[in-house]
Amino acid sequence: MGLHPQSTRSAATRDAVTVEIVFALVTGLVLAGAVFALGAVTAWYLGLPDLATRVAAVAAGVAFVVRVVRVLWRFPRPSGRSERPGRTGSGS
């Protein structure tokens, strides 16, 4: 028995949520690194001022946040509602 027997989430559900969060963070970091590298290398190659590197850093941060939110938003959330809208029971 677990520490919290009144918990409504199963261990598998908690594990799935944990895996999804880690996946979102890791892919967000990879995407942010790629966006920053692309912007910084382009700025360095073209001889652009330091402002271009700062813009690349901001773009990387935005890419990270967008990726994490998008992955977590698409993760299915358990709900007490039926999967077919408008249906309240098996007889209707």
pLDDT in tens, 38-69: 999 999 899 888 899 999 999 999 999 999 99
Other beta carbons less than 10 A from residue 54's beta carbon: 13
DSSP string, 14-83: HHHHHHHHHHHHHHHHHHHHHHHHHHHHHHHHHT--HHHHHHHHHHHHHHHHHHHHHHHHHSPPP-SS-S
Q: pTM of this prediction?
A: 0.71
Return the pLDDT at 2. 56
Cβ distance 39 to 18 under 8 Å? Answer: no
Residue 3 banded pLDDT, cuts 50, 70, 90: low
Can you tell me the mean pLDDT for 21-31?
Answer: 96
